[in-house]
Amino acid sequence: MKLPKQVEIIEVGPRDGLQNEMVFIPTDKKMSLINALNKTGIKRMEATSFVHPVYVPQMKDASEVFQGIVKDPKIQYMALIPNEKGFDRAIEQGVQAVSLVVGASNSFNLKNVKMTRAESIKKFENVVVKAKEQKIFVRYNIATAFWCPFEGAVDESLVVEMAKTINRLGADEIVLCDTIGRANPNQVYSLFSSIMELQPEAMITAHFHDTYGMGQANVLAALQAGVRQFDASIGGLGGCPFAPGAAGNVATEDVVFMMNELGIETGIDLEALRLSLDLVKQMSNRGLMSHYYSVLEHSCV
């Protein structure tokens, strides 16, 4: 098995991990989590989301969170934005890296932002132009890249064409998201191999949920296809308000543990993640999906 010497783990817990929590998490607790994650060796994370609070109430304190966290100059703090208005709000708060989302599935995209896939891509063109003019990093997520909760399997060629378009727009990063955690390693290897063959200027990142317990297997499949950047969420929290049945993301500590076992450097201190795990446990009324945390709970390590 051909393995790289190093990969990057991008922490999405403060945004993707917490956005689906039904009970509002106090702002100071969100900031405490990010400040704890600052000390783990993570170099990039999604800190919050400038979406309308009517649609995602958990993120209504985005400005307060972003202003209140301790910002390590060695860490890139990203904010998800739904449209140009959200972009402007984020930039006003000093955000230097934005995360955009377009669903490969029209049905999902309509549920998510009330626009078709083509309409969203078109509207984001101006956002990307504005971002590039202001030297803002652009992370472009393709949601439901493998499966849609409303339409089923997504055509691989459609996602490849989307990636080509996004790369031409000048995005810095393209993230292929298994939004509902339904992908399998064969699909993952096939799609990422096709994307990597394009040799895009944008970096390519994998984003997996663990609904069917295949998250780690899919990480390994993407790794074999040449992917070197992976999203993960502390404690395995996550989900999507607009994707019924979506479970949590692959857990940061599980991915880091697996990479350690494979001899692959992540730059993340697994022991330092323990404090963050304790904080996350207090924030959620759901059980953590993390296998590593389960081991810790049973005092096996």
Please compute Rg for the chain using Cα positions: 18
Given a contact cutoff of 8 angstroms between Cβ atoms, the answer to whether 202 and 226 are in contact is no
**What is the residue-wise DSSP string for 149-181?**
TTTEEPPHHHHHHHHHHHHHHT-SEEEEEETTS
The single-letter DSSP state of residue 250 is P
Closest CA to 224 of 2, 10, 8: 2
> Parallel, antiparallel, or unpaired for β 203-208 and 173-178?
parallel
Q: Is the dihedral of CA 236, 99, 223, 108 positive or negative?
A: positive
The yes-or-no verdict on residue 111 having pLDDT over 90 is no
Note the pLDDT of residue 220: 98
Q: What's the pTM?
A: 0.94
d(CA 113, CA 55): 10
Report residue 250 CA to chain centroid gap. Answer: 10
pLDDT tens profile 42-101 = 999 999 999 999 889 999 999 999 999 999 999 999 999 999 999 999 999 999 999 999
- Tens of pLDDT, residue by residue over 158-216, are 999 999 999 999 999 999 999 999 999 999 999 999 999 999 999 999 999 999 999 99
Q: With H, G, I as helix, E, B as strand and everything else as coil, classify residue 53.
A: coil
Give burial (CB, 10 Å; 0-12/13-18/19+) of 108: buried
- Predicted confidence at residue 289, as pLDDT, reads 79
Those residues whose C-beta lies under 8 Å from the C-beta of residue 293, and which sit 6 or more positions away, are 235, 236, 251, 253, 277, 281
* pLDDT tens, position by position, 135-152: 999 999 999 999 998 999
pLDDT of residue 173: 98
Residue 37 near residue 300, CB atoms below 8 Å? no
Q: Catalytic: 240? A: yes
What is the per-residue pLDDT for 239?
67
To the nearest whole percent, how much of the chain has pLDDT over 90? 80
The residue whose two tokens read 């403060």 is 14
Of 63, 61, 68, the C-alpha closest to 38 is: 68
Structural contact between residues 17 and 49, judged by C-beta atoms closer than 8 angstroms: no
Reported as a single tens digit per residue, the pLDDT across 13-22 is 999 999 888 8
Task: Give me the amino acid identity at 186.
Answer: N
Number of H helices, E strands in the chain: 11, 10
Mean pLDDT over all residues of the chain? 93
Would you put residue 235 in left (φ > 0), alpha (ψ -120 to 50) or beta?
Answer: left
3-class state of residue 297 by DSSP = helix
pLDDT > 70? residue 299: no
- Alpha-carbon distance 219 to 264, whole Å? 13
Q: Which of 148, 177, 240, 300 is catalytic?
A: 240
Q: Give the residue-averaged pLDDT of 207-235.
A: 96
Question: 240: pLDDT confidence band, cut at 50, 70 and 90?
Answer: low
- In whole angstroms, what is the distance from residue 123 CA to residue 112 CA? 15
- pLDDT number for residue 204: 98
pLDDT number for residue 60: 97
Cα distance from N-terminal residue to C-terminal residue, the chain: 28
Confidence of residue 109 (pLDDT cuts 50, 70, 90): confident
Q: For residue 164, what pLDDT is reported? A: 97
C-alpha to C-alpha distance for 62 and 51, rounded to whole angstroms = 8
